[in-house]
Amino acid sequence: MRCAAVLLALLALPATGCGPRPQLRLAGRTMGTTWNVTLVGRGSAADLQAKIERRLEEVNQSMSTYREDSEIRRFNRFRRVGEEFPISGDFLRVMKVASRVFELSGGAWDGTVMPLVDLWGFGPAGPVDAPPAEEKIASSLAAVGFAKIEVRDSGALVKHEASVTLDLASIAKGYGVDQVAELVRREGFTDFIVEIGGEIRAGGARRDGRPWRVGINRPRADAAPDEIYRVAFLRDEAFATSGDYRNYFVRDGVRYSHVLDPRTGRPATNRVVSVSIRAPDCTLADGLATAVMVMGAEAGLALVERLDDVEGLVVVETPEGGLRDHPSSGFRSEPPPG
């Protein structure tokens, strides 16, 4: 679970009026958040809006933990150990990326972490004002472990422990972004930017021919939602940011973040406050941003450097309360204008 920390910053780009090429903007709501699409070129706004909404509805019906009849909720209720649970193509594709991120991160990202999220007060069960007891952490950890689920290429999942459940919120929005990007490409648009809840995928360039620009929120609890810390430039790539600075509680002077380490059952304590990831697709970028938050700057950037076409920016809070950037070797960004 995490808070979105990216602003869609189409700086100095009016939606209509004079310009080199026409532009369409579409927007709506999905997955408990908003979506925005900007397209360079001509097309039927009504037709595109309807197609995007239908595609996002399909993704949501597959992976929403808030819908009783969704695929993921039905899987979570499934208790037959060793038996196949057939899943859709959407669910299978997300689970394959999830398996990869789990393995790459050494378990720092884990789609079965929801029992811990609820225990620490960051899930649907509601907030808590004190850390849980040791025995409760141990009990919840027993129900966590992505390796307890087998992903079969035939299009099925198999539980190896009845109690294991899935929550793919930290990767599903990225998949939704990718699916909308593929849809608009099929509709003939090569220059576009798609955003869902702060996760982004860009194609081509803006209508002035320049790269798309996105703003990263200033990672401070008291920062305005639209306060920009860094600006990144995108062409034919995805971008996702995770942060820990808006969802936490404090007890006896100790700050407990919603960024939980599935390996220990406790909030991460590595002083990382924001992670931004560039990757070829948003499903991967989304998962890696959360994984690196848990892994920390050194281990997280070492992982990023090993991956082809992936770059990252890790922002760490210093002991003095300042912010320090740790970019990967190929990450490029600038301070906001002004």
Q: Tens of pLDDT along 66-123? A: 899 999 999 999 999 999 999 999 999 999 999 999 999 999 999 999 999 999 999 8
16 pLDDT above the threshold of 50: no
Q: Tens of pLDDT along 264-302? A: 999 999 999 999 999 999 999 999 999 999 999 999 999
Mean pLDDT of 25-53: 94
Name residues whose C-beta falls within 8 Å of residue 206's C-beta, 6 or more positions apart in sequence.
10, 13, 40, 191, 212
Q: By C-alpha distance, which of 78, 54, 73, 52 is closest to 63?
A: 73
Element (H, E) at 63: helix 45-63
Q: What is the CATH number of domain 3-61+185-327?
A: 3.10.520.10
Q: What is the pTM of this model?
A: 0.92
pLDDT at 18: 46
d(CA 270, CA 297): 8
Residue 311 bridge partners (DSSP): 278
Amino acid at 42: R
d(CA 325, CA 288): 18
Neighbouring C-beta atoms of residue 177, cutoff 10 Å: 31
Domain boundaries, the chain: 3-61+185-327, 62-169
Mean pLDDT of 209-221: 94
Residue recorded with tokens 């069960």? 125
Fold exhibited by the domain 62-169: T-fold (1.10.3980)
Q: What does the angle CA 259 – CA 262 – CA 263 come to, to the nearest 5 degrees?
A: 125
Cα–Cα separations (whole angstroms), residue 90 to 80, 86, 257: 22, 12, 31
125 pLDDT above the threshold of 90: no
Token reading at 174: 């990225």
pLDDT at 7: 53
**Cβ distance 277 to 288 under 8 Å?**
yes
